[in-house]
Amino acid sequence: MPCPIDCSKVRFAVAAVREAAQLVRRVQKEMVGDALAKGDKSPVTVADFAAQALVGKRLEETFPQMGFVGEESSEALRTDEGSETLEQIVRFVRECIPEANADDVCGWIDRGVGEPTDNFWTLDPVDGTKGFLRGDQYAIALAYLRDGVVRVGALGCPELAEGVRPEKGGAGSLLVARRTNGTFVCSLDDEQAEWQKLSVSECDEVAKARLLRSVEKAHTNTGEIGKLAETLGVVADPVPMDSQAKYSVLAAGGGEVNLRLLSPSRPDYREMIWDQAAGSIVVEEAGGRVSDLDGKPLDFSQGRTLAANRGVLATNGRLHEALLAGLKQIGA
């Protein structure tokens, strides 16, 4: 069924994320098993580049005048060492674009290497590397921004059912949000599936807050998150999950808090815009709130990073001020 939010950018985001997610799934199915046994991360490399090439091509066809900011660059693929990986990427891209060649693919990837403009799209082609390799949670995240504000966001979550429940090998979830128009979810696999509107949890007791915590400890400051939970008297079990799939679960009411605290090893780190753009609007349009650790709105007008923001706090809205107070109390 058509998405209830009817505009050209929403239609594009839905189609592009669905196509890219299905391509990434094929890479995972064909490559991950043997490679993982050898500790080889090449499958996620191939999936990343193939998805960015595909979305870059679709943007070129549909919105050729708009900017594009992606995570990847083809520079390493153009070397002798990268030639074999490039061949694999081209092979997968040809499943969607039969006429694609190596130069085409590199060009489509490199549409995403520039700086943001006043009117652009940003893509994280595979958010959640370890989740992808484990067969757990990962996401394809695409967002449209104008004048430094996220206007449309879409998340493809292949291992989530109804945007909230982990389901390995299931139909997956496709979420889309448009500013002031709400957040909706449907099956990633079925283009005729019915769309459902999402709403965040109504929980207003901080002790019952379910924290969406990264499985990969390197991604945030897990010690400080534990300290925050203790300070606030949180007794609810955390929800372990990687990638922007956490934003989907938060928007669907499956948790109340998602934190990106600064890692002690990288105190000056600033988030990349593609890691937060799509997920942030999905939560906000479902009724939640997203800010940095100081309570400031995320500022997407600073280039490829959120240079004006420290970390990220996303909640169901009702608990946001309590979490900000707790963060201040522990000095995070």
Q: Is 180 a catalytic residue?
A: no
Of the residues 197, 230, 256, the one at which a domain ends: 197
Let me know if 312 is exposed, middle or buried by CB neighbors in 10 A (0-12, 13-18, 19+). buried
> Which residue numbers in the chain have pLDDT < 70?
33-40, 216-222
Choice among 129, 183, 220, 315 that is catalytic: 129
Provide the whole-model pTM.
Answer: 0.96
- Phi and psi of 309, rounded to 5°? -125, 145
Residues 190 and 212 in one domain: no
Q: Which of 48, 110, 124, 242 is catalytic?
A: 48
Q: Would 1 be classed as within a structural domain?
A: no
Percent of the chain with pLDDT over 70: 95
Per-residue pLDDT, 264: 83
- The model's pLDDT over 56-91, given as tens digits with 9 standing for 90+, comes to 999 999 999 999 999 999 999 999 999 999 999 999
Which residues form the domain of 134?
8-197
H/E stretch holding 36:
helix 8-37
The residue from 134, 169, 197 where one domain ends is 197
110 has catalytic annotation: no
Q: CA 155 to CA 187: how far, in whole Å?
A: 12
Residue 220: predicted pLDDT: 58
What is the three-class DSSP state of 123? strand
The predicted structure's pLDDT at residue 265: 83
Domain identity same for 180 and 128: yes
Instruction: Tell me what pLDDT residue 37 has.
Output: 47
Examine the domain organization and report whether 55 and 187 are in the same domain. Answer: yes
Q: Does 181 lie in the same domain as 56?
A: yes
